[in-house]
Structure 1
Amino acid sequence: MKKIAGLLLLSLASYHLQAQSFIQAYQTRANQVTQTNINTLLQEFASYGIKTTGSAANTNALNWLKAKYQSYGYNASQITEDSFNIGSTTSKNLIITKTGTVYPNTYVIICAHYDTVNGPGVSDNGSGTSILLEAARILKDVPTEYSVKFIHFSGEEQGLVGSNHYVNNVVFSNNVRQLNLKVVFNIDQVGGQLGNINDTINCESDQTSAGGTANNAPSLIKTQELANCTTLYSPLQVNMSHAYASDYMPFEGKGDVITGFYETVRSNNEHSPSDTYANIDPVYVFNVGKAAVGALQHFAVASSVLGTDEIAQNKLESVKIYPNPAKDILNVEIPAEIKNFVFEIKDMNGRLISAHENEKTINVSKLSSGIYLCTVKSENETVTKKIIIEK
């Protein structure tokens, strides 16, 4: 993503936040983001390696994304590609469209880039990629008044090439607007650094004069709404910040209203081989995902009534494993209604270290210092969490 020299953080207290009502259906859907899905998506994204724009790995990641949307039930007419050239190579943006019930020709865009440089890019930007996938899965059959486009951009790391192409050739054609956009919601580098206090997210608004200033005030309003949704539907706190050097900027330059998420405590792993699954905080990505699903429902005006076929929350998502970091003992706190479960400890390569049935106190004194994956299984549900052992 972006290299920021001196990120401007503005106190939330300096803004007047308009009141937003809590909607229980929005919370229920936000709660359908699962830690297990986030973990799996992040690890699968990492497995494709360095996804430089135009490379075979980049194409493989694109095909993985398409397969995910197909598995969620999106049909061929909803899945489109936007090809562009970068040097002597070609890459593609992936666009998934969900049609609105009241304003089908006005779009809420939620976007994240999937290209990486110098590493697997699990934070920058497997984190945003995974959140888009979870949001699309959860909201697949939820009616929204406004149409939603889930967009995965390539070419971000080479200077917003993919998003520039999309804006200038799809949103506009020969400088004539083709798509009416309500808001562009960008998610980039929200993986955090494992071990940091990752309890706050930056909510980014347009504060520049590029393309004129008429969209600055509307951007700030949408970012205030994003901040409100974050505190309503996730455990995160918010910092108000400014937009900078990510895929919302070409939209901003054409006068569209933008907002976005970016990690608050900088991980500094971006654009390096250190941007791996082992170094990020997957719980942070999970919490940002809940905030994003809440905000996307608000922006697109999702139904406030739950459908009869909406999936109930995985009961295992409330499992707590502590302390973390641990030294000799791990405690497992299980919901009271779950009577039988299996607890597994695996290393970061997926090798099973130990398995325990219905044990809530686990002796880990013989484990070496490092990072481990702990999985709880009960009936058809599972949850996986990352644990640090420190001697």
Structure 2
Amino acid sequence: MKKITTILLLSLSAYSLHGQNFIQAYQTRVNKISQANITANLQGFGNLGVKTTGSTENTNALNWLKAKYQSYGYDPSQITEDSFTYNGNTSKNLIITKTGTVYPNIYVIICGHYDTVVGPGVSDNGSGTTILLEAARILKDVPTEYSVKFVHFSGEEQGYLGSSHYVNNVVFQNNARQLNLKVVFNIDQVGGKIGNSNTNINCESDQSGQTGNNSASLAMTQQLATCTTLYSPLQPTMSNAYNSDYMPFENKGDIITGFYETNRSNNEHTINDTFANVDPVYVFNVGKAALGALQHFAVATTTTLATDDITNEDSLEAIRVYPNPAQDVLHIELPKDQKNFKVEISDMNGRLILNAENEKKMNTSGLTNGTYMVTVKSDKTSITRKIIIEK
């Protein structure tokens, strides 16, 4: 939930990559983020409808999330719920815990809310929700020195109800701290907008509220910005934290940081916050930055594991679909070694409009103006890009 434009805090010259090294094992895992998964989960989140706190749709979203974690192999003992009441209805936060190898009692929290207010909220905050899912999938069997909690909050749109309840009843009990936190990394509204220049991401630090944790938050956010540069194609923009689920943590003195889209869509809290109006490639790139940073914060093993040797399931990631927007012709550019492939163009309802095999030039003169999904499939994988036809 954001209501005002973020403020530029520091220029990129205020930090450097010195002292924070590129780690190949981190990049190898970042490369396992799947554009197909990102796109499918954004669509799945949107299909769950308006997920108002305490509603049936809200509960359905919670169960959808739990099923995802179970499919990734997380044990039921790692999956917990934190219930609270809003307007006489029960809603729940979902917490998935991955225990650290060196500091099991110190936690890195990566979080985002899954409740919405008017529309299906695919950007605010299906985008953050989707990134948490993909990060948890990839890190399932990767040792980290610090414990990690993947936390999906409800009630954010009503003033951080879920995160406040979690902070005051789980992190603290009777004002006594129960969980020691290294950092709280919040991801909220990073869906971008198709047609925008989605090349930057806001890296948010705490420069208000309790001043005692400001310098630590700034230092952590500078590390977040460095990870963004190291592990993603995005450029970091330093900005202030406000109006999201990290605020209850900040009020208790914890160190916070976060991601928020730089070029705002302004579709949040409207019926236009749908899958048709987000940029899945931007979410994919923010996911890369987030996974790189999460490994850094939690100190993931730098040793390449057997599971890391698996070829990126999106072997077609180097694909280019252009121009975008397109008019009468759409070009498909693939890696040189990719010989056999299929191209499908569907409308936003999933209806197949055009298809071809081994064609690198698609005739789109018969398509009306609007947004479409282009899927390129090989024998082992597929990748989807969103395009606009504009004549």
TM-score range, shorter chain: over 0.9
Conserved? CA contact 1:81–1:95, under 8 Å:
yes
- Deviations 1:26-45 (CA, angstroms, capped at 9, x unpaired): 11111111211111000000
Name 1:62's counterpart in structure 2.
62
Equivalent residue for 1:92? 92
Number of residues of Structure 1 aligned to a counterpart in Structure 2: 388
Are the equivalent residues in 2 in contact too, given 1:12–1:238 (CA < 8 A)?
no
Contact kept in structure 2, 1:36 and 1:385, CA below 8 Å: no
Would you say the 8 A contact 1:147–1:300 is kept in 2? Answer: yes
The question of whether the paired residues in 1 share the 8 Å contact of 2:12 and 2:236 is answered with: no
Gaps of 5+ in 1: none
1:171: which partner in 2? 171
**Alpha-carbon distance between aligned partners in 2 of 1:16 and 1:119, rounded to the nearest angstrom:** 38
CA–CA distance in structure 2, aligned partners of residues 290 and 234 of structure 1: 5
CA contact (8 A) 1:190 1:263 kept: yes
Structure 1 SS opposite 2:127: helix
After TM superposition, list the pairs within 5 Å mapping 1:249-264 onto structure 2.
Answer: 249-264=247-262
How far did 1:112 drift? Answer: 0.3
Name the structure 1 match of 2:311.
312
Q: Deviations over 1:63-119 (max 9, x none)?
A: 000000000000100000000111211100000000111111100000000000010
Using structure 2 for the length normalisation, give the TM-score: 0.97
Partner residue, 2:277: 279
CA contact (8 A) 2:185 2:246 kept: yes
The structural deviation recorded for 1:224 is 0.2
Contact 1:203–1:223 (Cα < 8 Å) also in 2: yes
What residue in structure 1 maps to residue 33 of structure 2?
Answer: 33
TM-score by length of 1: 0.97
| Partner Cα separation in structure 2 for residue 258 and residue 157 of structure 1 | 19
Q: Mapping of 1:1-391 within 5 angstroms?
A: 1-4=1-4, 6-13=5-12, 15-17=14-16, 19=18, 20-208=20-208, 210=209, 212-310=210-308, 311-313=310-312, 314-391=314-391
Structure 1: which 4+ aligned runs deviate by more than 6 Å? none
The CA distance in 1 between the partners of 2:81 and 2:307, in whole Å, is: 30
Alignment CA distance shift 1:16-1:318 (3 Å): closer
Tell me how far 1:17 sits from its aligned partner.
4.0
Q: Which amino acid aligns with 1:312?
A: T
- Where do 5+ consecutive residues of structure 2 fail to align? none
SS at match of 1:262: strand
Other structure's SS at 1:318 match: coil
Q: C-alpha displacement at 1:21, in angstroms?
A: 0.2
- State the alpha-carbon separation in 2 of the partners of residues 284 and 13 from structure 1: 20
- Preserved contact between residue 18 and residue 224 of structure 1 (Cα < 8 Å): no
- The CA distance in 1 between the partners of 2:303 and 2:112, in whole Å, is 28
Q: Distance in 2 between matches of 1:14 and 1:353?
A: 48
**Letter aligned with residue 191 of structure 2:** G
Checking the alignment, whether the CA contact within 8 Å between 2:374 and 2:387 is kept in structure 1 is: yes
Amino acid at match of 2:7: L
- CA distance in 2 between counterparts of 1:261 and 1:11 reads 15
Aligned equivalents of 1:374 and 1:198: distance in 2? 19
Cα distance, 1:18 vs. partner? 6.0
Deviation at 1:316, TM superposition (A): 1.1
Shift of 1:200: 0.5
* Counterpart amino acid of residue 340 in structure 1: N
Cα distance in 2 between the residues matched to 1:114 and 1:195 = 25
